[in-house]
Chain A
Amino acid sequence: MPEDPIATSKKTVPRVNLRRRVVNGAVTCAAAGSVILVLIPLVAVFGYLVYRGIGSVNWAFLTQTPKPVGEAGGGMANAIAGSAFILLIASVIGVPFGIGAGIYLAEYGRNRFGDVIRFTADVLNGVPSIVIGIVAYGIVVLAQGHFSALAGGVALSLMMIPTISRTTEEMLLLVPNSLREASYGLGISRWRTTLSITLRTATSGVITGVMLAFARVAGETAPLLFTAFGNQYWNFSMEQPTAALPLQIFTYAISPFDEWHRQAWAGALVLIVLIVVSVSAVRIAASRGMLKGAN
């Protein structure tokens, strides 16, 4: 009977030895362990937000302005509205500029100059938010002579522009070139093609980018500290200091009063729900196909 070739090979090539298998198993456990370790704070943060916050989110919280120290009750209605107002200003400034710059990068900027812009956008994206606050203070607050909603909006818009422009560019580049050609072939001018064909095809992707930028700045506190500044009352003037949800959370969290701590948790819960809802909505919409039907 001829020698079994498999048996021979077992002699020359040793089976994966014990030590290597143990190392492999240990590393697998370590990796899985690190996933669990990372998930703990996530669960803890959300758990505490719900646990501490849910009891305090009530009708009064959502409709009333803060009460003076020592009085129970009151709410953050003005801060929620103020955040919405500041974010509206930020979007009105940031979204057009961001999308415009994204269009430039995708449709005209496939060259050295485009690379310079891309690079600068990445630099701007990395600027610490507190520094953006200083800049907005310098160009808006100093010019106006006082803190204002406008200053807060400008600060947040500066943070939105680079994110929106880079995602817009990415989404426009995903649109197949054959659609641009089809449009040119019909005698449609370049600007019309860009707006009505390319941008329209990429709409859902561009909206995703805008929503992500929005969610990112919605919770920003540092750039609002000395721009929007905060306010105990309602304000809907661009010219006046304005309350914002993250600012209010900060102020209440570092205060010594239990009642305020309770409200800080409630505010945080409201804020996180708003952000998580918008991020997940975008995630789901995106997974259903960025470019619906494009091939």
Chain B
Amino acid sequence: MNAEPNTEIGVQVENLNAWFGKTQALQDISMNVAAKHATAIIGPSGCGKSTFVRCLNRMHETVRDARVTGRVRIGELDVYNGTPAVYVRRHVGMVFQKANPFPTMSIYDNVAAGLRLNGFSDRHKLDEIVENSLKMAVLWDEIKGDLRKKSGASLSGGQQQRLCIARALAVEPQVLLMDEPCSALDPISSGKIEDLIFQLKEHYTIVIVTHNMQQAARVAEYTGFFLLGRLIEFDKTEKIFTKPSEKRTEDYITGRFG
């Protein structure tokens, strides 16, 4: 028992199962993700870690023949019961493996997209939110001169990824899901994103999928280890990396497979 007395639950997952057609990708996952902390999800390729985070904001079901059972709660939001998927996704930001800014939109429009396309039209407020989001993503100073001039696709890889983070923050989510956000970036850009995660977790619940164990150790308070669609172990990061209680976790951490 090592829970902090004051920790609130950010995301509560109960008996989550997920399928692609007939293949079961996740089996009976239950875990409580701490609010305003970073939780890392690690495991070998194909273990279901991406599927897991994609179940938290119902992105999983956008894939053909995909299916989910179980329960996910985010704050007062029951993700799978009675809430439309688009509503869930507005409360849960997502950052993808490969930066995917909208190529035909300016930097400003990229950040504003989530709000505008959801029917938000107060211009002054929008300016303010865009600026704030870019500042939070530590991108503001680098691009404030060409906010409306440059296309989102003209930025460097690391900047694009931070732009995507700003875009996700602009809709003011409670939870930020990051699916291997640094896997396509160079070490310096990765470092900037990691710094950013440190700042963001003061305001947001962060779930970050990573195949980089050092990264998990650096940014996350909690770590869950997935293997073959099951959650093998979930604990404080420190404990996972120093004295895991499961043999399989230890094998993975020490590089014996995966």
Q: Which residues of A contact B (CB under 8 A)?
A: 110, 176, 178-189, 192-193, 196-197, 200-201, 203, 291-295
Whole-angstrom distance between the Cβ of A21 and the nearest chain B Cβ? 51
Q: Does B168 contact A (CB under 8 A)?
A: yes
B59 and A181: CB pair below 8 A?
Answer: yes
Does B117 lie within 8 Å of A200, measured CB to CB? no
Residues of chain B within 8 A of A182, CB atoms compared:
96, 100-102, 164, 167
Contact B86 A189 (CB under 8 A): yes
Measured between C-beta atoms, what is the minimum distance from A87 to chain B in Å? 28
B171 at the interface (CB under 8 A from A): yes
Highest count of chain A CB atoms <10 Å: which of B59, B93, B102: B102
A192-B102 contact given A185-B57, A186-B168, CB 8 Å threshold: no
| Nearest neighbor of B110 in chain A, beta-carbon distance | A182
Name which of A176, A186, A196 has the most chain B CB atoms within 10 A of its CB: A186
Q: How far is the CB of A212 from chain B (nearest CB, A)?
A: 21
| Known contacts A181-B59, A186-B93, A291-B103, then 14 further A-B pairs from the complex at CB < 8 Å, ordered by chain A residue | A178-B98, A179-B100, A183-B113, A185-B93, A185-B168, A186-B90, A186-B114, A188-B86, A188-B113, A188-B117, A196-B113, A200-B104, A201-B102, A293-B104
Interface residue count on the B side (C-beta < 8 Å)? 30
Most buried by A among B93, B104, B167, B168: B104
Q: Which residues of B contact A185 (CB under 8 A)?
A: 57, 59, 89, 93-94, 96, 168
Report B-chain residues with C-beta under 8 Å of the C-beta of A189: 86
In the bound complex, do residue A201 and residue B117 qualify as a contact, i.e. CB atoms below 8 Å apart?
no
Closest CB of chain A to B179's CB: distance in Å? 10
Q: Which residues does chain A contribute within 8 Å of B100, judged by CB atoms?
A: 176, 178-179, 181-182
B57 close to A192 (CB less than 8 A)? no
**When the two chains form the complex, which single residue of A181, A188, A193, A203 contacts B96, counting CB atoms closer than 8 Å?**
A181
For residue B167, which residue of chain A has the nearest CB?
A186
Q: Within 8 Å CB of B151, what residues of A?
A: 292-293
In the bound complex, residues from chain B placing their C-beta under 8 Å from that of A180 are 62
How far is A196 from B116 in the complex, measured between Cα atoms in Å?
Answer: 10
Q: A187 contacts B98, CB within 8 Å?
A: no
Q: Say whether, besides A183-B113, A183-B117, A185-B96, A292 and B89 are in contact (CB < 8 Å).
A: no
CB contact under 8 A between A293 and B89, given known A178-B96, A181-B62, A185-B57: no
Q: Which residues of B contact A196 (CB under 8 A)?
A: 113, 117
B88 within 8 Å of A by Cβ? yes
Q: A178-B98, A295-B153 are in contact. Are A187 and B103 (CB under 8 A)?
A: no
The A-contacting residues of B in range 63-93, CB under 8 angstroms, are 64, 86-91, 93
Interfacial chain A residues near B167, Cβ < 8 Å: 182, 186
* Cα of A203 to Cα of B153 in the assembled complex, Å: 16
- Does B102 lie within 8 Å of A184, measured CB to CB? no
Check A186 against B102 for contact (C-beta < 8 Å): no
Chain A residues with CB below 8 A from B2, complex form: none
Q: How far is the CB of A223 from chain B (nearest CB, A)?
A: 36
24 of the cross-chain contacts (CB-CB < 8 Å) are A176-B100, A178-B100, A181-B94, A181-B96, A182-B167, A184-B62, A184-B89, A185-B57, A185-B59, A185-B94, A186-B113, A186-B168, A187-B89, A187-B114, A188-B117, A192-B118, A197-B102, A197-B113, A201-B103, A201-B104, A291-B103, A292-B151, A293-B103, A295-B103
Question: Does B154 count as interface, using CB distance less than 8 angstroms?
Answer: yes
CB distance from A203 to the nearest CB of B (A): 7
Q: Which residues of B contact A179 (CB under 8 A)?
A: 100, 102-103
- Determine how close the nearest CB of chain B comes to the CB of A96; give it in whole angstroms: 21
Interface residues of B in 104-118 (CB under 8 A from A): 104, 113-114, 117-118
- Report the minimal beta-carbon distance from A269 to chain B, rounded to whole angstroms: 38
Task: Assess the A292–B117 pair: CB atoms within 8 A.
Answer: no
Given A181-B62, A294-B153, A295-B153, are A187 and B88 neighbors across the interface (CB < 8 Å)? yes
- Among the listed B86, B96, B153, which residue makes an inter-chain contact with A187, where contact means beta carbons less than 8 Å apart? B86
For the complex formed, measure the closest distance between the CB of B148 and the CB atoms of chain A, giving whole angstroms: 16
| Nearest chain A CB to B49 CB, angstrom units | 17
Minimum distance in angstroms from A110 CB to a CB of chain B: 8
Contact of B90 among A181, A187, A203 (CB under 8 A): A187
